[in-house]
Amino acid sequence: MSRGQEPIYSEYETDSSQSSKLIRKFKETPFVPIGMAGFVAVVGYGLYKLKHRGNLKLSLHLIHMRVAAQGFVVGAITCG
């Protein structure tokens, strides 16, 4: 690098705290946190419904919960 040029990643080097990096990433890709929040919501709802699943086997319930959570994340990223 020559002396007259600024570093290409100067703004990335100045943000040294983890929270500022995380906030910047969320601003760049807003649908990723939406997908993560949806994933947590689906898993939370699935765990709540785990007690009231009736005759449904545990493995089948977990498969349905996983598919719903992955579907929400993929849908959020696709929309973004």
Query: What is the DSSP track for 8-56?
Result: TTHHHHH--SHHHHHHHHHHH-THHHHHHHHHHHHHHHHHHHGGG-TT-
Question: What are the 10-residue block averages of pLDDT along the chain, 80 residues in total?
Answer: 58 66 81 81 85 82 86 82
Question: Which sign does the torsion angle of CA 32, 38, 41, 46 carry?
Answer: negative
Q: How far apart are the C-alpha atoms of 74 and 48, rounded to whole Å?
A: 23
Q: How far apart are the C-alpha atoms of 39 and 25, rounded to whole Å?
A: 18
Give the pTM: 0.57
